[in-house]
Amino acid sequence: MSPDPSSPILRGLDPRGVATLTFNRPEVNNAYDGERIVDHLLQNAPEANRQTKAAAFEFAWGKMSEETFANLVAQHSARRQSGEAAEGLASFAEKRAARWYS
């Protein structure tokens, strides 16, 4: 079976049986096109994104203490009661894009 050149992900198998996946295909407008990634990121809740990224970078290579985990749970709970969360829920219920920026 030959690869579909219009697919957002190209799949290949070499004679040894080694599979390859090619994701960065802006010519077919896949989700890995830099402009589209930025556009999608800007549609997300900015403060929630900031906190998520900070936690991911801080704990990506190590183990998290129970105290740190409890702090993250508390932060998450506070974010879910914020104006940002209210806008996210309202936009979902009203089937519209969220208005993160005025």
For the chain, domain boundaries: 1-42, 45-93
Q: How confident is the model at residue 33 (pLDDT cuts 50, 70, 90)?
A: low
- DSSP string covering the chain, please? ----TTSSSEEEE-TT--EEEE---GGGT-TT-HHHHHHHHHTS-HHHHHHHHHHHHHHTTSPPPHHHHHHHHHHHHHHTTSHHHHHHHHHHHTTS------
Give the pTM.
0.47
pLDDT at 50: 83
Q: What is the pLDDT of residue 90?
A: 92
Query: What pLDDT does residue 30 have?
Result: 56
Model pLDDT, residue 4: 67
The confidence score (pLDDT) of residue 36 equals 67
Residue 1 pLDDT > 60: no
